[in-house]
Structure 1
Amino acid sequence: MTGTAAGHEESEKRVSWIELYFDVVFVFAVRQVAHVMVEWPDWRGVMTALGVFLALWWTWIGFVILYNRHGEDRASQRLFLLVGTIPCAIAATQTHAVTDGHVGGLALALAGARLVLAVAYPTTSGEGPAAGRSAGMSYALSAAVFAVSAFIPPPWQYALWVFALAQEAGFLMLAEVREGRRPAREDQGRASEAGERRREQFDALLTPPADPGRAVNAAHLAERFNLFMIILLGEVVIAVAYTAVDMHGAEGAVQLGLLAGLVLAGALWWIYFDSSAGINEFVLRASGGNPAMAYGIYAGGHLPPAFALLLIAAGIDLSLHDDPPVAATWLVSIGLAVYLVGTRGFTIGALPHWYLRALRVLLVTATVCLALLHLLVSPPIVVTIIAVWAVLAAVVVTVRAPIALRRLRENPLHLFGNR
């Protein structure tokens, strides 16, 4: 790998076989997270699943960025990923214990994964030793915090988890932003200063990092996240497939719901890969591999739609069984709304008129409210209606994609609604 951000782009690094093997562990992990919401279809189950998913997500991010910046597919570097699969697999098996208040096993497994990262980052840092050391120290601190949390009763456990995840995300992706902050100028008013700082911060997103060791490879990062989204979309398909096996010979409404589940999965795939995937990579390339941009688009930006797919998978699973709970259709409709917002299908660019912005809010609200149809029709029929709605959304996204890309070529910051 070269020592410049441009070099990261020229190398066109691809996802390696060892990374695909590593992701196999998370196929099982995301299945366990979705199953938590199937077993406990209430707010407690959803919040528990979200908390576990956050911890697993940032664990996965740590290994993704490690290989993105420093991995060259050497034997010593492949070993770190292989060793990392062990605590990650253990963490996946401990997911259900969290619902019973037993967090210790999961916390220790997460600490073990971060201990691997604490050694891996400074060891493989190559041309960016400062970045490698800072990330390594951050993960060492996180490992200690997670280990301590295993022996502390809730809710303090979760407070420690939030601290650990926040500080490691900051060191990994946002250090350049912190280092680039400027003191406020005394000769300007506060409002002017705030506006100027905001413009500077957004402009900084399009500037390659000063330390080449912090730059990310856009091609590799985009491909890695795209593959992970395929894993999560596969969870929706698996939910439909398992239900189809259990419901062999079911009545017509359920059979229609099974078909609708597959249509919904296809529409979700289309919304992401026909628009968001290419747009995200284009903007990251335009930034020269800026890690803060990568955080906004991928590490943080993909979190809502990623979890939304698990909400949808759990909701479909519940909706197609006998006597489904009230939460079943809500999980599907809320999941779709979060997915549409998270993939920016309707939200790329600032709209000039208030009524167009209001229309966006109305569309998202209407998506959520589709769950209310369970008062009139059976949950499988509601899933069918939601699937049709998703197909219509996919059509809109397809029509808007070329327009959005044209605007982003003029100014990549339109992705975040900047005029």
Structure 2
Amino acid sequence: MSTTGEPGSEEKRVTWAELYFDLVFVFAITQVSGLLHHHHDWTGVARALVVFVPVYWCWVGTTVQANIRDVDNLRDRLGILLVGLAGLFMALAVPDAFGGRGVLLGAAYWLGRVVLLILMIRITGIWHGPYGAGVLVSGPLLVVGGLLPDGPRLALWAVAALCDLSVPLVFRRRLAAVAYHPAHMPERFATFLLVALGESIVGIGATAARARLDAAELTAVAAAFTISAGLWWQYFVYAADAMRHAVVIADSRRDVIRRIFQYGHLALVAGVIGVAVGFGETVADPWRALGPGAVALLYGGCGLYLLTFGYTRWMMFRKVATTRLIAAAVVLALLPAMVRLPALAVLVTLAVLLVALNVVEHFRVERAAAVPPAPPTPAPAERPVGGPV
């Protein structure tokens, strides 16, 4: 597979059409969170995941298309908006995706993939990759699954999700010729994570707005916001610049983008959605014990988020993210003990852990910055702000 041209020396900027397109996925993430909110068991998590993957993959396909092509023109703007409409149909189908709207979700996804393929049709070999697979395999599977009863539908949609996720691995050699713009891709995925973090704020505010807002409830709001801000801090202060740096210096940008952004950010966003749904169970009644489902979403989502940084750092620099992995282990180890505690205690404990983690990371970065620089070389490597921690 080859592209129509190499990225120029100037940084590619995110277009207004892409940012407007993202607004659809603000709503889509809210709908996925709502689906998970009503079903906390493992079946509910599986349902939410197999619905979220096509939503996410439709966004990823549009982002890659905008990265490797010039989309600031009439044809591509209209195409992006049409994919956005398909995404809106998918979001509307999510609440009843395992009821009467299964076909709508599948057909909307298929429509989005067809539009993306048409937008990319001039690229040689486009059928042999994610765009062709979406039209020929995963899209039809989602439509057929929408016609089946609940259990077989879940199984077939899981196959479709695995198909979408595995295609970049299967066709990685064909995708090697794609020329990615290094600045655009990190910015787009950071924006998507920010959209997910916005859902955590909605999870706090929408629940608190219906409460009495006494001292305990306001404390729960403050603790939940501290957790959300702590998750934001981990990514945007300590990781975002390192990820961009990894793309710039990589021998194979294709591998970094696939591992760190397409796969790594799927786990990051899934973790944030779990935390957001957990907030909806904690803020309104801070003295109530949450039960295993809500605690698993809150602490399990946070643990997944932190563990993913261990994966991304290893993939980028072959280094161990020791502090984050330890913090993730502590969060997950505390999960069973939190089941019997009041929601307020659960929130405050997690907030304290994230604040402590960010403080430790801050001092590690400061200490690394204080180390005398190595002897100058003719072309010193650029070090990203905050360092690849």
CA distance in 2, matches of 1:42, 1:401: 39
Aligned to 2:86: 87
CA contact (8 A) 1:121 1:132 kept: no
Alignment of 1:40-51 (within 5 A): 40-51=39-50
Secondary structure, counterpart of 1:247 in structure 2: coil
Does residue 271 of the first structure (1) align with residue 234 of the second (2)? yes
What's the TM-score once normalised by structure 2's chain length? 0.83
Which runs of 5 or more residues in structure 1 are unaligned?
180-208
* Deviations, residues 279-314 of structure 1 (Å, cap 9, x unaligned): 111111112662222010100111111110010011
CA distance in 1, matches of 2:152, 2:311: 38
Q: Please state how far the C-alpha of 1:54 moved relative to its aligned partner.
A: 1.3
CA distance in 1, matches of 2:117, 2:220: 47
Which runs of 5 or more residues in structure 2 are unaligned?
375-380
One-letter amino acid of the counterpart of residue 306, structure 2: L
Aligned to 2:139: 143
CA distance in 1, matches of 2:172, 2:339: 49
Secondary structure, counterpart of 1:44 in structure 2: helix
Alignment of 1:64-213 (within 5 A): 64-100=63-99, 103-123=102-122, 125=123, 129-131=124-126, 134-141=129-136, 142-169=138-165, 171=167, 173-174=168-169, 177-178=172-173, 211=177
Q: Please state how far the C-alpha of 1:269 moved relative to its aligned partner.
A: 0.8
Q: Please state how far the C-alpha of 1:241 moved relative to its aligned partner.
A: 1.3
CA contact (8 A) 2:289 2:340 kept: no
Choose which of 284, 293, 298 in structure 2 pairs with 1:321. Answer: 284
Q: Please state how far the C-alpha of 1:275 moved relative to its aligned partner.
A: 1.5
Structure 2 CA distance for partners of 1:136 and 1:226, relative to 1, 3 Å: closer
One-letter amino acid of the counterpart of residue 177, structure 1: R
One-letter amino acid of the counterpart of residue 148, structure 2: I
CA distance in 2, matches of 1:12, 1:145: 38
CA distance in 2, matches of 1:346, 1:79: 35
One-letter amino acid of the counterpart of residue 207, structure 2: T
CA distance in 2, matches of 1:220, 1:62: 14
Name the stretch that deviates more: 338-347 or 298-307.
338-347
Does residue 331 of the first structure (1) align with residue 297 of the second (2)? yes
What's the TM-score once normalised by structure 1's chain length? 0.78
Aligned to 2:377: none
One-letter amino acid of the counterpart of residue 135, structure 2: A
Does residue 371 of the first structure (1) align with residue 335 of the second (2)? yes
Aligned to 2:11: 12
Task: Give the count of matched residue pairs.
Answer: 369
* Deviations, residues 219-274 of structure 1 (Å, cap 9, x unaligned): 11111111111111111111111122111333x33221111111111111110011
Does residue 283 of the first structure (1) align with residue 246 of the second (2)? yes
Aligned to 2:308: 342
CA contact (8 A) 1:145 1:164 kept: yes
Choose which of 386, 393, 404 in structure 1 pairs with 2:350. Answer: 386
CA contact (8 A) 1:276 1:345 kept: no
Q: Please, what is the CA RMSD of the aligned residues? A: 3.4
* Deviations, residues 114-166 of structure 1 (Å, cap 9, x unaligned): 1212212215x4xxx33477554333213333333332345444444344444
Name the stretch that deviates more: 10-19 or 34-43.
34-43
Does residue 229 of the first structure (1) align with residue 228 of the second (2)? no
